[in-house]
Structure 1
Amino acid sequence: MGFTTTFVIAIFVMMLGTLAYQGMSRTLVDEQASINDLHEQWMKQYGRTYADDAEKERRSQIFKQNMGFVEKFNSEGNRTYKLGYNEFSDLTTQEFLTYYTGYEKPAHYSKSSGIKSFRYENFTDAPTSMDWKDKGAVTPIKNQLQCACCWAFSAVAAVEGITQIKTGKLLSLSEQQLVDCVMDNQGCRGGFMDTAFEYIQENQGISSEENYDYEAMDGTCDTMRSRNPAARITGYEDVPTNNEEALRMAVSAQPVSVAISVGEEFRMYRTGIFSGGCGQTLNHAVTLIGYGESEDGNKYWLVKNSWGETWGEYGYMKLLRESGDAEGVCGIASKASYPTLSTA
């Protein structure tokens, strides 16, 4: 399908809006702007280069298809969220899911240490809204890059949160240690948050990111650095399955690791309360750091992702809460767990 001049101008104006959203200035182009011009503009912003002209042409076509998808979605109106452009706009959906997700429960996993009585079951003091970022329990947005270890970022964010809540110290902890050292997981090929929590508990802690920095690739466990813990946990617990109210009780007390199902709309999310366009199976892991309600009465979860600040609302997402489905939007209530820490 060809792009008319009017369509291209509309796309470019929308793209400029994305750039302005990120605090970057751009100059307007004339009415003869082509799809290639827009791709070139995008390449400059994100520092993208290609191996040869053939690869550039292939990426340009993918970029064009993604542009069409975004423009069509946003033009339909009556939506609670908008899609937009980010550093993943020249990837196919399958390429993106291969490199930037990574939730995978090990087939052999049978441990039950996380299946315990739910400590927040009778929690009656949960506020109507919560944002652990505002309370100083959330480190800045990180980027897993092309390593399918979202599970490590989800688990680490939850441990960072409970550590700050219990000790008053906000520390950036090491995802790379989990990638290298959690033998029950597969590093950059996928993993499970509960096995990460078990490793941290059994290892007597986890190192700081400064001590064991992120490399976005599989490596050999560095026993010297892994024996220098910056934070510890005493265990972990699972949230009752498919129970958003129980999940809210847990999130009101601490950040919580969750598995979700993501697809094409999710990866192109820009702003608003996301209410659909998920994948078919649980394939990604994020951290719930709060919840709230919009002025027009839509309840939402506040999600911390690990795709950098160019995705979503500077790396965060609002996801519809209490949709009516037991598992929640994108399966948000299907598999949730949190680390525990006793300071007594």
Structure 2
Amino acid sequence: MASTNHFQCMFLALLFVLGVFSSQASSRLFNEQTMLERHEQWMAHHGRVYKDVKEKDIRFQIFKENVERINAFNEGVDRGYKLSVNQFADQTNEEFRASRNGYKRQSIEVMSVSKPTTFRYANVTVVPKVLNRGIGYLKKGAVTPVKDQGQCGCCWAFSAVASMEGINQLKTGKLVSLSEQEIVDCDVKAVDQGCYGGLIDSAFQFIKQNKGLTTEANYPYVGQDGTCNSKKAATPAAKITGYEDVPSNKEKALLQAVANHPVSVAIEASGYNFQFYSSGIFTGTCGTNLDHGVTAVGYGAIANGTKYWLIKNSWGSGWGENGYIRMKKDIAAKEGLCGIAMKASYPIV
């Protein structure tokens, strides 16, 4: 009798184990099917089309890994910001950085010439407590709508143009969208290589020597390197007389400048958390290997006292907070979060 009971117990245990395995297998199949459906919906939403089944399978696996990573982050410890499954969800971080980040940090000391030494805001002691020239401020401020550089690593040109648009608006009262494509096509010094990267300060030098920039409407952005159209470039809509650098590694100095107008800044924008940033104050892990040009257009603080920089990016309005990111301000490191205080500059008129 005891032997029969033992056999029955073993049989029931085996059935239980098989049931567990079957349930897990069913769950995996369900999750895989759900992810496949989600990928199809994502493709339709973003108009993504792949050349063949092999490429689609590769992109699906990357998409799946990214979604799982994003979900794990959002469901984990609250870090003050969230990630989302955005238009870059089928790219690895290496692919994303290769096409979107084009600031040439390594070339700064070697290639830059005639560096300005003055900083006109050094004695500024009173600044607005909160300043927003970006989100929800377009009808009042010196910031054009968020642009999209596409698969072209010319963030440096977008950063330079954004701060120039701001300076021009504050001087003339007219907000004019200027041409990044003119810089990409016509600024062909050794250090600036269009979609293959360049320097913000070098772009300012080009704009000065070129006697200004024409409008985006006259010389529209196409997202790839092209031949300089000298005829279109010969009708500038805005000019600058030069540029100034913000003293390095001093967030206070950056504040003095941003309080007056938009400022071009370089940051390290590597890592999945930057690629998929969605909302909140970014406090992510990042270093000081500057690889991306953006524009500081304001600053502020939330209810708990956390201070932030308001940054305009050039990855389209579908990324971040309608194309913007709030980055933590006044951290302990003198370089600022992601090196934001290391290499900032602005044009002068």
Q: Same fold (TM over 0.5)?
A: yes
Q: Distance in 2 between matches of 1:60 and 1:122?
A: 55
Secondary structure in 1 matching 2:96: helix
Unaligned runs of 5+ in 1: 10-31
Residue type of the partner of 2:141? G
Q: Distance in 2 between matches of 1:132 and 1:72?
A: 34
Task: Verify: 1:157 aligned to 2:158, yes or no.
Answer: no
Q: Give a deviation string over 1:247-287, Cα, whole Å, max 9, x none.
A: 01100001000100012211110000001132561111100
Out of 128, 136, 143, the position equivalent to 2:141 is 136
Q: Are the equivalent residues in 1 in contact too, given 2:288–2:335 (CA < 8 A)? A: no
Match of 2:122 in 1: 121
Q: Are the equivalent residues in 2 in contact too, given 1:266–1:277 (CA < 8 A)? A: no
Q: Are the equivalent residues in 2 in contact too, given 1:5–1:33 (CA < 8 A)? A: no
Match of 2:20 in 1: none
Q: Distance in 2 between matches of 1:141 and 1:198?
A: 24
Q: Which runs of 4+ in 1 moved over 2 A?
A: 2-6, 105-108, 277-280
How many residue pairs align between the two structures?
317
Match of 2:171 in 1: 166
Out of 148, 152, 159, the position equivalent to 2:153 is 148
Q: Structure 1 residue 78: deviation in Å?
A: 2.3
Q: Give a deviation string over 1:183-228, Cα, whole Å, max 9, x none.
A: 2201000010101111111111100001111011111111111110
Q: Are the equivalent residues in 1 in contact too, given 2:82–2:280 (CA < 8 A)? A: yes
Task: Verify: 1:273 aligned to 2:285, yes or no.
Answer: no
Secondary structure in 2 matching 1:233: coil
TM-score normalised by L of structure 1: 0.88
Q: Give a deviation string over 1:42-67, Cα, whole Å, max 9, x none.
A: 11110101000010000000001101
Q: Are the equivalent residues in 2 in contact too, given 1:255–1:290 (CA < 8 A)? A: yes
Q: How does 1:105-120 map to 2 (within 5 A)?
A: 105=105, 106=107, 108-113=110-115, 115-120=116-121
Task: Verify: 1:89 aligned to 2:89, yes or no.
Answer: yes
Q: How does 1:66-81 map to 2 (within 5 A)?
A: 66-81=66-81
Q: Are the equivalent residues in 1 in contact too, given 2:268–2:339 (CA < 8 A)? A: yes
Say if 1:4 and 1:202 are closer, same or farther in 2 by CA, change over 3 A.
farther
For the pair shown, which has the larger CA radius of gyration, 1 or 2? Answer: 2
Q: Are the equivalent residues in 1 in contact too, given 2:299–2:310 (CA < 8 A)? A: yes
Q: How does 1:22-61 map to 2 (within 5 A)?
A: 34-61=34-61
Q: Distance in 2 between matches of 1:278 and 1:326?
A: 14
Residue type of the partner of 1:274? F
Q: Distance in 1 between matches of 2:254 and 2:215?
A: 28
Q: Structure 1 residue 77: deviation in Å?
A: 2.4
Task: Verify: 1:334 aligned to 2:334, yes or no.
Answer: no
Q: Distance in 2 between matches of 1:305 and 1:5?
A: 40
Q: Distance in 1 between matches of 2:339 and 2:225?
A: 28
Q: Structure 1 residue 3: deviation in Å?
A: 10
Q: Distance in 2 between matches of 1:166 and 1:340?
A: 10
Please provide the CA RMSD for this pair. Answer: 1.9
Q: Are the equivalent residues in 1 in contact too, given 2:63–2:90 (CA < 8 A)? A: yes
Match of 1:198 in 2: 205
Match of 1:297 in 2: 305
Unaligned runs of 5+ in 2: 1-23
Q: Give a deviation string over 1:62-94, Cα, whole Å, max 9, x none.
A: 001101111111111221100111110000000
Q: Are the equivalent residues in 2 in contact too, given 1:149–1:191 (CA < 8 A)? A: yes
Q: Are the equivalent residues in 1 in contact too, given 2:112–2:202 (CA < 8 A)? A: no
Q: Distance in 1 between matches of 2:25 and 2:66?
A: 13
